[in-house]
Structure 1
Amino acid sequence: MPRPKREPNLRLQTLIDEAGFSHKGLARRVDDLGQAKGIPGLAYDHSSVIRWLKGEHPREPIAPLIAEVFSMSLGRKVTVGDLGLPATNERSDIGLRFATSWRDTIEVITALWRSDLERRQFIVDSVFAAGAYATSAIRWLTAPPARIIVPTRSTRQVGRADVDAVREVTHTFHRLDNLFGGGRARLTVVRYLHDEVGPLLHDGRYSETVGRELFTAAAELTRLAGWMAYDLEHHGLGQRYLIQALRLAREANNYALGGEILAGMSHQAVYLQRADDALDLARAAHDSAIKAGLPALASESLIMQAHALAIDNEPSACGKALNAAEEAFERSSRTDTPQWLRYFDEAYIAAKFGHCFRELAQGDKAEYFARRSLDMVDGYVRGRTFNVVLLANAQLQQQDLDAACATGNQALDLASGLQSARTIKYIRDLRRRMSKFSKEPVVSDFQGRAHELLPASDPRTSNRSRAA
């Protein structure tokens, strides 16, 4: 049977004419907006626009980006339908809602896991939603304490052994994530959530005490799945997992874990250069840390505030936050720190200090703390790679090219065994910063080695073809 003939998209052409865009100009605006929203790897050009005008449909989530480009240019709301494109039949908001009821939460989170496992493109390539974290943080801070409703009709008895199994799996996958990056086992984690944790939440019968422990364990593993997605630069997907992890922590009334999840949200916002969002989330994390009585978590949240302030080039406010973070950490005790926060130690703090001073272009201070950050425990290969790249950047800021390239080569050696898009981006960013010195032989040698060793394509998309 012959394929139906595509009809020219006259609505899109009308909007292009009204906005005064060239084909190349529209493509560039779509690429720029996608990059700002955390969608990497977009490379549309005039030929892409020509294909759309001939009736080809762009892949998700590009149509909403095109609509937003026209909305900003024309000063009015432009919908996907206005573009002459079909609205998606998928629930594009899956996982973005901080549900108000427990039963609704179960439906939302299991739909997220299922869509992820099915590799539904609209969810895997989902855009980072600017306001979703803010809404979730407000609901976290203002919602009344959850009251466990013990199921009476469920047939599956859930006990502490079930909870311990989830925690052990989480611990194992945390170790793999730190050793090999988020790409190594992310889908395996999602499958475990869907196949094993989902039935415990949906069908289980448990006491109030076991219920809270179960929700906490599920929140920890959901948070890890979100962190792995973030590490692969699936920012919209990672955001959805972190929101649902926060919702599970609320059901457990676990202020400590909720604060840690909020700090993770702030971490992602910093990475995306969304300083205002990062600062708000870090302050919400600090509020939770105070309620939980956890000085180490308070220290982490203050450091995230400092990093956001550094991005905004606020050295005085950043310094005050760093000092407060040091004071809070000095009040912390290793014995009182939860297992999931044990990574937050002197080396981690030094790395965050180094990042702040690098953002403030204070290379000498950044180098000092970057060197201290390398005095870290074993098992954190990705983290060590990040810290080595930080050191190379600090040396580059001081134009010590020999040292920066030697350190950069160490980062390349470490990165060879990682499946981490963030790692690749950090090293590519180092290469970009070095480009102005590319005539220097030592820099040229490093650039050539990095070109040979880094993946030629995005590790997240190399196994699937690129649509329109």
Structure 2
Amino acid sequence: MAGSAEEDLIQRVLDLLGCLDRAAFLRRVAAWHESLGFGAMATRPEKVSRWKRGVRPDRCTETAMAAMLGVPTDQVRALGWPHWLRVALDADQVLLTAPWTPAGALTALDHLGRPDTMDRRAALFTGGALAATTLANWAAASPATAVLTSGRPRVTDRSAALIDARLTALRQLDDEIGSAETYALARAELSSITTVLRTRSYSEPVARQLFATAAEASRICGWCAFDSGDTAVAERHYMAAARAAASAQDPIVTANLFAFWAMARYSDHDTSGALDYADEALRNARRTGSPRMIAMIHARTARAHAKSGDLRASRRAEAAAFTAYDNAGRPEDEPACVYWVSRAELHSWAANNASDLHDPRRALTHYAAVAAPRDETYDGDAYPRSRALRLSREADVHLSLRDVEVAVHTADQAVRAMGGVTSARGTTVLTDLRTKLRAHQHLPEVREFLDRTV
């Protein structure tokens, strides 16, 4: 609803300041307005009402408000109204204002370790402007250096490698049991890595490897939160991961992070931010030389364009994804984080693009290719969540073509594929499909499916 974000944020700022009414808040802003040399400011209560409805304050009033709340001018410009108000709220401030240094990265990671400070009510102020600011800060960030403090235990190369191996297991565990359970395990892993960074000594190469594992652990947390339907928490983990990745200066971790962040952005209808992150992901992926990673990022770009209705750009990025994948070798010869990328997965994404671009016949062509991919054997049982999502979306395509019997059969396969894997995305897609099927509940097979899947 228009104005709801403004109303919520302004009320939270009033609560933060202890202002019992709008008049008290306006008197405080007016005092800052005058102290900055802007002269007297009107304090009629309807001014706050207009702000809550989405009317932006004039430049002088906004500057006075930012000064009162201690929000830097560059954050006001980058985030825009009303999003910069969140910087004044303790839950979000650290993630935006901490310096882009190893110490700043640790501050952000520590913040995520305190769940009571994480504000789940609002999405982290993202969008094209913040994406550009984040990427500029990332490029100028300070890399990690050695920490050689006497009396502290030393972290060896082997210890850092063992930590990294645990993240490999977490990624695969997410495939098996789903995001809700894996999130708790990833949070614990992230907390452990942060503690090691704060309390141990290590060489510069080990420092960078530890920050890389911290970034990937936070990225896994972000993905799990996103798949569980909690985009606000996902965004916070991605922001902290970006800071850790900047300290690590690791192109694999960076490319993977920004690729997943791009997915969160286009899923939230922010094509500009998604494409900015995908571009940065691709620049880093090319440094890795990994065809699977490059293909995956081209596919993310294609999804962003499809979401915005740009057929030509989506098809171009889609073709680039398949071309890159033609050079892929064995999964074990590429970065561990892209083990799941396959030609079948690319076809599944291409089918989603076709659906978003209102071309159901083309979508079915790609779904058929998933079942018989070229040059590889696709084990759908190893990825039950992906298989369930694909089958649910395929059922939706059949339904759009009025092939109700096939739609029900495919939907039934999706339900069986999901099994005990937790995924809010999978549940949402199936729920939407059930809603559409109710229009056909006069058919026996539809009634039976609806009754069986209550």
With the shorter chain as reference, the TM-score category is: 0.7 to 0.9
Partner in structure 2 of residue 166 of structure 1: 163
Alpha-carbon RMSD: 3.1
Partner in structure 1 of residue 433 of structure 2: 430
**Cα pair distance change 1:437/1:378, threshold 3 Å:** closer
State how 1:129-144 maps to structure 2 within 5 Å.
129-131=125-127, 132-140=130-138, 142-143=139-140
> Hey, which of these two has a bigger chunk of helix by percent?
2
Do structure 1's residue 76 and structure 2's residue 79 form an aligned pair?
A: no
Q: Taking every aligned residue pair, what percent have the same amino acid on both sides?
A: 21
Partner in structure 2 of residue 201 of structure 1: 197
Q: CA deviation at 1:212?
A: 2.1
What is the identity, as a one-letter code, of the residue corresponding to 1:297? M
Q: CA deviation at 1:68?
A: 10
Note the residue ranges of structure 1 that are not aligned, 5 or more in a row. 1-27, 38-51, 54-66, 82-86, 453-468
Do structure 1's residue 217 and structure 2's residue 198 form an aligned pair?
A: no
Partner in structure 2 of residue 367 of structure 1: 364
Distance (Å, rounded) in 1 between the aligned partners of 2:203 and 2:92: 35
Choose which of 174, 177, 180 in structure 2 pairs with 1:177.
Answer: 174
Task: Say which SS state the counterpart of residue 406 (structure 1) adopts.
Answer: helix
Q: CA deviation at 1:264?
A: 0.2
Partner in structure 1 of residue 305 of structure 2: 309
Q: Deviation per CA, 1:422-449, whole angstroms, max 9, x where unpaired?
A: 1111112223444544544433443343
Do structure 1's residue 149 and structure 2's residue 146 form an aligned pair?
A: yes
Q: Deviation per CA, 1:371-397, whole angstroms, max 9, x where unpaired?
A: 333533542121111111122122122
**Cα pair distance change 1:96/1:235, threshold 3 Å:** farther
**Cα pair distance change 1:147/1:166, threshold 3 Å:** closer
Do structure 1's residue 108 and structure 2's residue 89 form an aligned pair?
A: no
What is the identity, as a one-letter code, of the residue corresponding to 1:376? D
Distance (Å, rounded) in 2 between the aligned partners of 1:289 and 1:243: 19
CA contact (8 A) 1:97 1:243 kept: no
Distance (Å, rounded) in 1 between the aligned partners of 2:155 and 2:338: 26
State how 1:296-445 maps to structure 2 within 5 Å.
296-334=292-330, 336-374=333-371, 375-376=378-379, 378-445=381-448
**Cα pair distance change 1:317/1:68, threshold 3 Å:** farther
Distance (Å, rounded) in 1 between the aligned partners of 2:227 and 2:213: 21
Q: CA deviation at 1:209?
A: 2.1
Q: Deviation per CA, 1:3-47, whole angstroms, max 9, x where unpaired?
A: xxxxxxxxxxxxxxxxxxxxxxxxx5577x69xx9xxxxxxxxxx
Q: CA deviation at 1:318?
A: 1.2
**Cα pair distance change 1:385/1:294, threshold 3 Å:** same
Distance (Å, rounded) in 1 between the aligned partners of 2:51 and 2:449: 42
Partner in structure 2 of residue 273 of structure 1: 269
What is the identity, as a one-letter code, of the residue corresponding to 2:267? Y
Q: Deviation per CA, 1:79-104, whole angstroms, max 9, x where unpaired?
A: 999xxxxx986333343457411112
Q: CA deviation at 1:238?
A: 0.8
What is the identity, as a one-letter code, of the residue corresponding to 1:187? A
What is the identity, as a one-letter code, of the residue corresponding to 1:355? N
Q: CA deviation at 1:189?
A: 2.2
Q: Deviation per CA, 1:111-158, whole angstroms, max 9, x where unpaired?
A: 211x22xx44x4344424224444323333x32672523333461210
Distance (Å, rounded) in 2 between the aligned partners of 1:238 and 1:182: 12
CA contact (8 A) 1:295 1:329 kept: yes
352-361 or 334-343, which deviates more: 334-343
Partner in structure 2 of residue 40 of structure 1: none
CA contact (8 A) 1:166 1:218 kept: no
Distance (Å, rounded) in 1 between the aligned partners of 2:336 and 2:108: 28
Task: Say which SS state the counterpart of residue 348 (structure 1) adopts.
Answer: helix
Between 1 and 2, higher relative CO (CA 8 Å, sep ≥ 6) is seen in: 1
Do structure 1's residue 246 and structure 2's residue 242 form an aligned pair?
A: yes
Do structure 1's residue 260 and structure 2's residue 256 form an aligned pair?
A: yes
Partner in structure 1 of residue 374 of structure 2: none
Distance (Å, rounded) in 2 between the aligned partners of 1:397 and 1:191: 44
414-423 or 89-98, which deviates more: 89-98
Q: CA deviation at 1:227?
A: 0.8
Task: Say which SS state the counterpart of residue 222 (structure 1) adopts.
Answer: helix
Distance (Å, rounded) in 1 between the aligned partners of 2:136 and 2:415: 41
**Cα pair distance change 1:97/1:366, threshold 3 Å:** farther
Distance (Å, rounded) in 1 between the aligned partners of 2:451 and 2:201: 59
What TM-score do you get using the length of structure 1 for normalisation? 0.74
What TM-score do you get using the length of structure 2 for normalisation? 0.76
CA contact (8 A) 2:101 2:247 kept: no
Aligned residues between the structures: 384
**Cα pair distance change 1:175/1:271, threshold 3 Å:** same
Q: CA deviation at 1:72?
A: 4.6
CA contact (8 A) 2:167 2:217 kept: yes
**Cα pair distance change 1:398/1:172, threshold 3 Å:** same
Distance (Å, rounded) in 2 between the aligned partners of 1:333 and 1:143: 34
CA contact (8 A) 1:358 1:394 kept: yes
What is the identity, as a one-letter code, of the residue corresponding to 2:149? T
Task: Say which SS state the counterpart of residue 257 (structure 2) adopts.
Answer: helix
What is the identity, as a one-letter code, of the residue corresponding to 1:304? R
Q: Deviation per CA, 1:181-230, whole angstroms, max 9, x where unpaired?
A: 21113123212322x21221111211222222222222222211111111
**Cα pair distance change 1:330/1:416, threshold 3 Å:** closer
**Cα pair distance change 1:256/1:410, threshold 3 Å:** same
What is the identity, as a one-letter code, of the residue corresponding to 1:219? A
Q: Deviation per CA, 1:31-69, whole angstroms, max 9, x where unpaired?
A: 7x69xx9xxxxxxxxxxxxxx99xxxxxxxxxxxxx899
CA contact (8 A) 1:148 1:208 kept: yes
**Cα pair distance change 1:161/1:299, threshold 3 Å:** same
Distance (Å, rounded) in 2 between the aligned partners of 1:304 and 1:298: 10
